[in-house]
Amino acid sequence: MGTLKNTILKGILVSLFATFGGVFLYLEYISRFGFYETIDLINEGKLYGKVLSLAAIPNLVVFFIYIKKKQDNSAKGVLLATILIALTTFVLKFF
């Protein structure tokens, strides 16, 4: 039972890392402005939810890698983290 929790936790952590990596890639390479300027624009425009939803796209790649490798419990962790990110995006958008 301990390994089941560990593999799901591994999937959650990898998913969160991929999401933060997606945020960094967006802020550093996709945005036309500098890193700190983009953060200021996100704060001014209250665009947290939109940036977070764009940053969750790498989770799709991680999910399919785990499915391909037949690591279903880690894929469940990625799916759980993605659902939590979606709920966070929902809260940031409407509240």
Contact yes or no for 57/22 (Cβ under 8 A): yes
Average of per-residue pLDDT across 14-26 = 91
The pLDDT, as a whole number, for residue 56 is: 86
Domain hosting residue 71, numbered range:
2-94
Number of domains present in the structure of the chain: 1
| pLDDT higher than threshold 90 for residue 75 | yes
- Compute the distance between CA of residue 35 and CA of residue 60 in angstroms, rounded to an integer: 25
23-35 pLDDT per residue, tens: 998 888 888 888 8
37-70 pLDDT per residue, tens: 988 998 898 888 888 888 888 999 999 999 999 9
DSSP 8-state symbol, 51: H
The pLDDT, as a whole number, for residue 95 is: 77
Contact yes or no for 92/85 (Cβ under 8 A): no
